[in-house]
């Protein structure tokens, strides 16, 4: 096992260049027989705002550059660097959300970003039948991001909903959801481009 960590801010061009260069160098190794790329980087955006509070184009563009643009750039870079090798499989996972399908009040950026990513990866699945593509919604995970959701969401009903989930122990441990994803990948029976939810 070889682990290579690259610290990079995927929200800026320099960080994307650094991560992309590391991917290109790593994936040219001809001994690799499988590519499994997991796109997990993302952010909630400012969930303390409602739809009509978003008037700053730079804030909006910055959000989409990180949450959508970087996933497209890095996935394309990885697929090109690895190439279509005989007998080798290529799988791309997009960590998605129920928010890609359902609107959440005061989560305009997050919902639209997740929806855009799902469609982007559906396009990849359609263009490249030899690549397995999965958008996996891991469920409401008990993470720091969930803490932000419970405390910063502008919509009071949404805040209370997440607080009740925490109080009732309904949030999912990240390792449990990760095991579900691994099972999905091992079974490999999903239609390429599918959105599959933890539940």
Confidence of residue 2 (pLDDT cuts 50, 70, 90): confident
d(CA 123, CA 136): 16
d(CA 181, CA 177): 6
| Statement: residue 1 has pLDDT above 80 | no
Report, as an integer, the average pLDDT of 60-84.
97
* CATH superfamily assigned to domain 13-197: NAD(P)-binding Rossmann-like Domain (3.40.50.720)
CA distances from 71 to 26, 110, 118 (A): 18, 14, 11
- What are the extents of the domains in the chain? 13-197
Per residue in 7-25, pLDDT tens? Answer: 999 999 999 999 999 999 9
Report the half-sphere exposure of 172 (CA within 13 A, side-chain side): 15
> Looking at residue 3, what is its pLDDT?
87
Give CA torsion, residues 122, 38, 136, 150, to 10 deg: -120
Per residue in 73-111, pLDDT tens? Answer: 999 999 999 999 999 999 999 999 999 999 999 999 999
């Amino acid at each position: 096992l070889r682990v290579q960590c690259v610290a990079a801010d995927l929200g800026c061009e320099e960080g994307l260049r650094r991560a992309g260069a590391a991917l290109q160098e790593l994936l040219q190794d001809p001994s690799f027989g499988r590519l499994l790329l997991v796109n997990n980087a993302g952010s909630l955006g400012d969930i303390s705002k409602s739809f009509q509070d978003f008037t700053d184009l730079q804030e909006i563009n910055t959000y989409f550059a990180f949450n959508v643009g970087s996933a497209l750039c890095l996935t394309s870079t990885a697929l090109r660097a690895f190439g279509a090798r005989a007998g080798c499989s290529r799988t791309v996972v997009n960590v998605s959300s129920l928010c890609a399908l359902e609107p959440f009040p005061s989560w305009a950026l997050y919902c639209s970003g997740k929806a855009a990513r799902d469609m982007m990866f559906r396009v990849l699945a359609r263009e490249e039948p030899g690549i397995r593509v999965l958008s996996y919604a891991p469920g409401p995970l008990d993470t720091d991001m969930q803490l932000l959701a419970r405390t910063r969401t502008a919509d009071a009903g949404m805040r209370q909903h997440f607080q009740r989930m925490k109080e009732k122990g309904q949030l999912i441990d990240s390792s449990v959801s990760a095991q579900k994803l691994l099972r999905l990948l091992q079974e490999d029976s999903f239609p390429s481009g599918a959105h599959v939810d933890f539940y």
